[in-house]
Amino acid sequence: MSLPCLRPPSAESAGEFRLDLFPPATPQVVGVLRRLLRDMLGSVGLDHDAPCLILSELVTNALVHGGGAPAVVLELRDGRLYITVSDASPVPVVRRAPDTARTGGRGLDLVDALADEWGVELIGSYGKAVWAISAVSV
């Protein structure tokens, strides 16, 4: 599957939004982005738990493994939240084999469990984008 088609919200799409963000590559940005998404979804009366966890994991992975500042797109339309986090590293995303002794490396397992769909796309010579789609409800 390829990246979800993102588009600017139309005038008649009340309660929908799109944010294109280019945050600094600092550990603090994970919490800032999570709170921003929580507040945006809360402002239109939608549950934010799963989408905020997905966003946190994708941004953390981009910061740890991505080779530079991430770019983040958040788009709410038709009851679904589209999250895309791109980074400058062309290194493919690899899910580790399950291991109960490991203390880290479970982020993509969490994304897989919470997202309706997710995937990874290479972005030419720039790097890659990891995207996830999450249904949001009242």
In this prediction the pTM is 0.85
Where helices occur in the chain by DSSP H, the ranges are 28-43, 49-65, 107-114
Q: Out of 36-50, 66-80, 90-104, which region has the weakest mean confidence (pLDDT)?
A: 90-104
pLDDT (0 to 100) of residue 19: 93
More confident: 129 or 124: 129
Q: Which of 98, 91, 93 lies closest to 118, judged by CA? A: 93
